[in-house]
Structure 1
């Protein structure tokens, strides 16, 4: 999170920094879900909880920048992600896919249209 904050202050717009943060979170959650190392899983879940806690805190205050509808959506997503994250912390066998899906949905909304419509590179055809 400290690395994200330092990069966000100097190089990226708020939206770009948010997208970068969600990309990093997705990578960590995917690695944790694919592996069996409980320390990696706990670290990823801890970052998930902290990120969504920051998002919830930022959206509970009306600063006049974000519409009420968007703020309500982010608070709802934060609540659902944190609740599921707590369940995943307590049950080491619980899939992290729902958390990954929520983060991907947010990332899709943050990325510019040119990035969202780009076709993924297919590795199947080269092997």
Structure 2
């Protein structure tokens, strides 16, 4: 019961404080920070944990764009699905090869963040 009430309070606070676009941008900011923090580090476990975050976020994006909600044009949904697919494939390769650079994952996340930030500026 307590957990349910706490979750409702959290959702209420979040819905009042961040727009969907702002929340998405924050997710990408955190992903970029996680990837950058391990990009040149030798700790494979931390690196793989950061890559796993990358995989989860892109998986959520892919899932969200696979469902037709009528809010996003089909062309944009296909673009997001392709980006998610490429980021996830590269993430798998990076997990299997600890010498593979994380720069492409950081750049993909940065590009999305830049797009989200410019859309937020246009709306605001």
* Same-fold status (TM-score > 0.5): yes
1:101 pairs, out of 98, 102, 107, with 107
Instruction: Tell me the SS of whatever aligns to 1:111.
Output: helix
> Which residue does 1:80 correspond to in 2?
86
Larger relative contact order (Cα-Cα within 8 Å, sequence gap ≥ 6): 2
Separation of aligned partners in 2, 1:95 and 1:18: 25
- The answer for the alignment partner of 2:116 in structure 1 is 110
> Are 1:40 and 2:51 an aligned pair?
no
Report 1:1-40 matches (<5 A).
Answer: 8-40=14-46
Alignment root-mean-square deviation, CA? 2.0
TM-score normalised to the size of structure 2?
0.82
Number of residue-to-residue matches in the alignment: 111
Instruction: Give structure 1 stretches of 5+ with no counterpart.
Output: 116-127
The answer to whether the 8 A contact 2:65-2:81 is kept is yes
CA displacement, residues 83-105 of structure 1 (integer Å, 9 cap, x when unaligned): 00000010011000000010011
Alignment of 1:35-74 (within 5 A): 35-74=41-80
Relative to total residues, which structure has the larger helix share, 1 or 2? 2
Instruction: Give CA-to-partner distance per residue, 1:3-29, whole Å, 9 cap, x none.
Output: xx9675452100000000000000111
Q: Hey, what does 1:121 align to over in structure 2?
A: none
1:112 Cα deviation after fit? 3.4
